[in-house]
Amino acid sequence: MRLKNRLIDAGILIAVFIVAVIAFSYFTNKGNNNMTADMGAATYPQVSFSYNGFNLNTLTGYAKEMDIPAMRDTATPVTDQKVDVGIQAYENKVSSVNYIVYTLDGKEELKKEKVKKPGEEFSIDLSAEGLMKEERVLEIVLHMPDEKSVYFYTRLVDATNANMLECLNYISDFHENALGKVEGAGVGAAIEPNEQGDNTTLQHVTIHSDYDHVSWGELEPSVEQGERWSIKEINSNYVSVQLEYRVRCKGEENDTDVYNVKEFFRVRHIPDVAKTYLLDYDRTMDQIFDPTKHVLNEKGVLLGIVPHDIPYMVNKDGSAVSFVVANELWNYNKGTDQISLVFSFSDAENTDVRNLTAQHEVKLLEVDDTGNTTFAVYGYMNRGEHEGEVGVAIYYYDMEKNSVEEKVFISSNQSSGSVSNELGKLVYYSVNRDMLYVMVEGTLYEYNVKKEEEGTLVKGLEDSQYVVSDDGHLVAYQSGGALNEARKIIVKNLSNGKERTVECAEDECIRPLGFVKNDFVYGVAKTADTGKTVSGEMAVPMYKVEIQNSKSKVVKTYQIDGTYVLDAVSEDNMITLSRATKEGGTYTNIAPDYITNNEEKEKSNIYLETYTTELKESQVRLAYNDGVTDKEPKVLKPKQVLFENPTVITFDDVDIGNKYYVYGYGKLKGIYDRAGEAIRNANGCNGVVVASDQSYVWERGNRNLQYIISDKDEILQSIRDRLSQKEAPVDIMKDINDGRSLDLTGCTTEELLYIISQGRPVIAMLDTENAVILIGYNEADVIYIDVASGERLSVPYEQMDQMTQGSGSTYVG
């Protein structure tokens, strides 16, 4: 049976923040129960596209114009030089439509038209010469009679040679055959079961899982409300598609359970053999928590099939817990035997598909002694006061008043993925002090929400000049100097406003590296040790790393003679140290080292644990040491406190410089300063890397099987001559590429083949002095120019990896 579908655009895209307006207002009727209401229904129209019987890319509407390069969520196929657009107006009346076709970077309008009285469908003509020679961005604006306008965005891709229909048909068949457990229909033959697949869980299934798990075990799934199709990538080598839907499955404690599902496909069709191949598959299912059913037993709160690390926070005496599952925030108070749905964009009946748009995330900020919860909602706002906006909403849940109060809304014109990755670095609200802290483009803003006062704690910071604790309440930043000059760091506790300083000697500089739990990690470098990396970048290496507790006592020192630390990455209470050794004035990368927190997590009466059953396999519950006696709690739905003029802060159009964006499995996975780090992460999720202007830096699989650079002899000879004269590789590449280069250090040779396939040579350093130039490849070997002899040689990919070990795998593109 052919799928007829719709897609809620699950989007994610590029980051950049932009301080334009800071507007403040605050209404003082806090906690007035007479000023409460439900969130309200979704009101915006939607736009979708039709293609050979498939309904694709159902777009959510935005309340204002968005940053064009950031709108990289869906890719709409262009066939026969046009696209067919459908309007789902709901209760709205659409008086006219404007559409504009932009270049990917948003700097040039290529076509602009107006459609009067469009009806439910209209077509966009894209036949103008050269219009679709590259990917474009389409902006559609629906105008309503009340002068309200709603904006929609998608990329346009010429799908003439993409074999779209064959790919979509294959995905449709695979999806239905897996749901129906149809033996012999090709599902088992398409997947690649191996040790990478986790066959203990149905929550996350991949191409490496076994057939039983890919075909849903014994859950007997049934899709509700249809699938929503989102195309993520289109090229001549593959098509990436994400399906989103709700599914009802056989239960254990309950007759049935309902789940949110995301199912990702990457497929390739080869016309010559009339065969379609599954290149990648990834499916997640999150059980929707339903307290009207059986969710408590004597051991605790049953969450079912959800990720094993769901966010949760417990109050001091262990009587209340707030937790996030399936994009909803819940609170269970054992003392009063109440379960409260604190926040959800889903409506009670789950009948409005607009509410199911999963372009947001809920982040717990703090749970106080009573159980009152401060939290943030990042991303696209499906409905409510900020419907159609992207940003961060800070809320406070008062258990006693059974109300949720919005403290402040931070608005942005970036994508939901960008907001989560960029604003997510530091947004913190102190309830007791009514203070909000936001880091944007290297400026740390401090807002007194109650007094409507704004201040700036520090500005002009680079990403490497500050660090934030995992829970956001601690920040450390350099003071009084550039990255490799500052002799002082300020460590500030945003919860209570207290701060302390950490300083180094006069002939040294000090850098913040991260937090391990509440302990601050920093590095100290001697300015006399300044040198260069093998690629030619300046380096001021740290000779020691120290960990300091909240009382300013150094509890650990990391220092090894002859070993230096060039950089560090902090994530999940672990610091990864990029290390190097010194030869003359050159620093060569060696294996990284790690600093972790070995202390046990503070004991609580409530904790997360997994358990296994025969039907649903690995599941999660919030367990109580002293158990739960009452199994039928009272279910509450707190009201929202309304204010006449809520506090709104707007960050628009801030240029944060050149970054690298990794997209994989249908979402923005991360934003990176270095191309090499971005490529390694994209390779791990079979994704793509794009620059800030949306130009492609790297793609998994979208290259020829063999290639050699044959039209740049003068450039290659110039690179060879300058390397022979011992010029720095990074300087050479910047000179031939308008001042830009790619630091590809740490990549494997195979990961670099896409770059070579674009006609871009790569310098590979063999040690601190000698280099080769990578200029081509075939299915097994990489082809290079030996700088010393000028010969063109080839070796297997793995051999080149070994040849560059002496330089710490240094590559420059």
The pLDDT-based confidence of 380 (bands split at 50, 70, 90) is very high
- pLDDT at position 609 is 94
331: helix, coil or strand?
strand
Query: The tokens 């196929």 sit on which residue?
Result: 77
* Arithmetic mean of pLDDT, 477-489: 90
Domain boundaries along the sequence of the chain: 660-699, 707-812
List own/partner pairs for 606-614 with CB under 8 A and 24 or more apart.
Answer: 606/300, 606/312, 606/314, 606/318, 606/321, 608/308, 608/309, 608/310, 608/312, 610/308, 612/200, 613/252
State CA 209 to chain mean position distance: 24
Both tokens of residue 585? 């004035």
Span 304-329, pLDDT tens digits: 999 999 999 999 989 999 999 999 99
Span 523-558, pLDDT tens digits: 999 999 999 999 888 889 999 999 999 899 999 999
Query: The tokens 């519950």 sit on which residue?
Result: 621
- pLDDT at position 629 is 83
- pLDDT at position 758 is 93
Whether the CB-CB separation of 477 and 494 falls below 8 Å is answered with no
Whether the CB-CB separation of 216 and 178 falls below 8 Å is answered with yes
> What residues contact 658, with CB distance under 8 A and at least 6 apart?
691, 692, 740
Span 244-272, pLDDT tens digits: 999 999 999 899 999 999 999 999 999 99
Residue 811 clears pLDDT 90, i.e. is over it = yes
Measured on CA atoms in the order 411, 414, 415, 420, is the torsion positive or negative? negative
* Average per-residue pLDDT for the chain: 89
**Pairwise CA distance, residues 342 & 327, whole Å:** 11
The pLDDT-based confidence of 599 (bands split at 50, 70, 90) is low
Please report how the helices 729-736 and 713-724 are oriented relative to each other, as an axis angle in degrees rounded to 10: 150
**Pairwise CA distance, residues 446 & 472, whole Å:** 14
- pLDDT at position 3 is 38
- pLDDT at position 211 is 96
* Arithmetic mean of pLDDT, 335-342: 92
* Arithmetic mean of pLDDT, 695-710: 90
- pLDDT at position 656 is 59
**Pairwise CA distance, residues 72 & 695, whole Å:** 11
Please report, as a single letter, which amino acid is at residue 304.
G
Span 187-240, pLDDT tens digits: 999 999 999 999 999 999 999 999 999 999 999 999 998 999 999 999 989 999
- pLDDT at position 36 is 57
**Pairwise CA distance, residues 101 & 716, whole Å:** 38
The pLDDT-based confidence of 640 (bands split at 50, 70, 90) is confident
Whether the CB-CB separation of 8 and 56 falls below 8 Å is answered with no
Residue 726 clears pLDDT 70, i.e. is over it = yes
- pLDDT at position 310 is 95
Span 3-61, pLDDT tens digits: 333 333 333 323 333 233 232 222 223 333 335 567 788 899 999 999 999 999 999 99
154: Cα within 13 Å, side-chain hemisphere: 30
For strand 338-343 and strand 328-333, is the pairing parallel, antiparallel, or unpaired?
A: antiparallel
CATH 3.40.50.720 for domain 707-812, yes or no, is no
**Pairwise CA distance, residues 176 & 216, whole Å:** 11
- pLDDT at position 374 is 94
